[in-house]
Amino acid sequence: MGKILKEALGDVQEAIDIFEFLAGEGRRLYGRTTPSELKNKLAFTIRIPLGVTAIITPWNFPIAIPAWKISAALITGNTIIFKPSSDTPLCAYALINILEQAGLPKGVINIVTGSGNETGSAIVKHPRIKGISFTGSVETGSWIRQNSGLKKISLELGGKNPIIVMDDADLDLAVEGIIWGAFGTAGQRCTAASRIIVHKKVYSSLLKKLLAKTKQLKIGNGLLPSTDIGPLVNKSAQEKSAHYTQIGLQEGAKLLCGGKIPKGKGFFFPPTIFTNVAPEMRIAQEEIFGPILSIIKAKNINDAIKIANSTQYGLSSSVYTKNMQYAFKAINEIEAGITYINSSTIGAEVHLPFGGVKSTGHGREAGWAGIEEFSEEKTIYIDYSNKLQKAQGID
């Protein structure tokens, strides 16, 4: 999919880490034991598998995201129908080959390739599939909710993630996080930082530092160690970024750098920064999934949080500040599944839950939450009183 080499290695390492972590969770499929309300009666819970589960994954993390889902589904005892993105099917094939070489019985995981309209639709509607885990667009996620019946579903549907930079922030640290969050993977992450909300006192200073660093980024072949930004996944993605650049200009935003498809081969698009962006502009509201960054000015922490919450999404968020009052206010009030303090919007760790709120979807992946998504909690009662005990209060 064009990811640069160091990010591709990180993609693979994340898969290694999640399999290692969830293998250990197989010894911790904990239930709860609690006293019964009646004498000589035991009450506890266990976790049981869903059965046949479906995993539908995107192209931007073609190893890590399938690994997040597959590892949790396997360790809780499910079998899997796995539909990878049509843009990256060979990565999926390589991953399943590795699992089979490691001893996974054939038939436990079954790859099914094809379009979402045909293959995806058949999977979602199939009566024997009991659970679905999907990562992709809001539109497709909404369709799955409407057509999956009573299946257990987990949806991760993208974001419009903000980084708030307060007037007391370390600007050099903030710029480093912005560059990584906005332009890593060419902006093709659901956790990409696509909105920078800057306190008015440091607005100009931050822009100067950010522009200087952005102009140093090298675009090119992802296999070359010197490359910072590789190509977008396909021509459609490239054209979408160009289209949103025109939308931004039409809305009155100021183009600070980038914005044009470069000449030559490859689906490249340069890092693009807009200033003079109003929170209601489309470039500040809609997920672009390209290296396009909107800079928005804020009056204070309350204004910054209000702007951060002004989109339909709620996946990741970040605040750069040395003021703990600002930090905890943001933690409590930003509408997002993830909040970072003095770090970028990307970098989720495999032993912690991942997911968002609002139109970002529902459910969580990774950590203990992955266990909960791919299993059900069953309540068990064992009565050893040797008589029929009715519920408390019944004579």
Cα 365 from Cα 368, distance rounded (Å) = 8
Based on C-alpha coordinates, what's the Rg of the chain? 23
Cα 1 from Cα 21, distance rounded (Å) = 26
Cα 52 from Cα 272, distance rounded (Å) = 44
Cα 29 from Cα 302, distance rounded (Å) = 42
Cα 64 from Cα 19, distance rounded (Å) = 10
Tokens representing residue 270 in the block: 């340069």
Cα 132 from Cα 382, distance rounded (Å) = 32
Phi, psi of 390 (to 5 degrees): -85, 165
Beta strands at 272-275 and 33-35: parallel, antiparallel or unpaired? unpaired
- Whether 91 is a known active-site residue: answer no
14, 190, 287, 365: the active-site residue: 190
- The 8-class DSSP code of residue 346 comes to -
Beta strands at 193-199 and 254-257: parallel, antiparallel or unpaired? unpaired
25, 156, 287, 365: the active-site residue: 156
> Where in the sequence numbering do the catalytic residues fall?
156, 190
